[in-house]
Amino acid sequence: MSSNNRANGFSVRCLKDWFSKGLTSLEIKPFAFDYFFMDKLLIDLFRAYYDARRNKRSTVNVLAFEIDYERKLFGLYQEIKSGKYKISPSICFISFKPVQREIFAADFRDRIIHHLIYNYISPIFERLFINDSYSCRLGKGTSYGIKRLDHFIRSCSRNYFQDCYILKLDIKGYFMAMDRSILYQKVEKALSRFRERERERERRF
């Protein structure tokens, strides 16, 4: 009988009928079953891969990784689980737009790890950032920044009836000169506070 036949009603065909036709359990097992029992880290790693390649699929590094990318992701997963993951050498070059600056481009497999970590900690740090921090935040792109700038200019100038001034600056070599040990301590402190709050919430419930 066709599954579209209304005579079926809400009844379910017995699995014995399927096996009698030579079908195996693997063939009828729904994908959601495999997905539910899959390691969460592996699922998150695939998600990070798709995030990392967004708008970059035509680049050489991404195209090279996409060749047998599933095997490479499983290999990366095993490296993380075993604690053997190591950062690959970055590519250094000079960019002249919008200003001359030194760029260190991470290998694509490392960028996947960047997105993996970002997806984990972004919801935590999102609560700590001020509203007018726009870089690498969902819903906080150039358009939102322009709207906020327009709002501040109108507020300061009384809707363009009064002179006001804007300070535009850039700290030279900021990221290269940053004390990473201090940054690491701040990140660790924020994550520790979040972990303690989660433990306290689990104790309550």
Question: pLDDT tens, 7-65?
Answer: 444 444 444 443 344 433 333 333 333 444 458 999 999 999 999 999 888 889 999 99
Portion of the chain with pLDDT greater than 70, in percent = 81
Q: What is the pLDDT of residue 43?
A: 93
Q: Omega before 98 cis (within 30°)?
A: yes
Q: Report whether 52 contacts 112 (CB < 8 A).
A: yes
* pLDDT tens per residue across span 140-169: 888 999 999 999 999 999 999 999 998 888
Q: Are strands 101-105 and 91-95 parallel, antiparallel or unpaired?
A: antiparallel
Q: With contact defined as beta carbons under 8 Å apart, do 69 and 49 qualify?
A: yes
Average of per-residue pLDDT across 100-117:
91
Q: Mutual orientation of helices 180-204 and 108-126 as an angle, nearest 10°?
A: 60
CA dist., res. 163 & res. 197, Å (int): 47
103 bridge partner residues: 93
CA distance 191 to 198: 11
Q: Residue 201 has which token pair? A: 């919430």
Task: Give the Cα separation of 171 and 173 in Å (integer).
Answer: 6
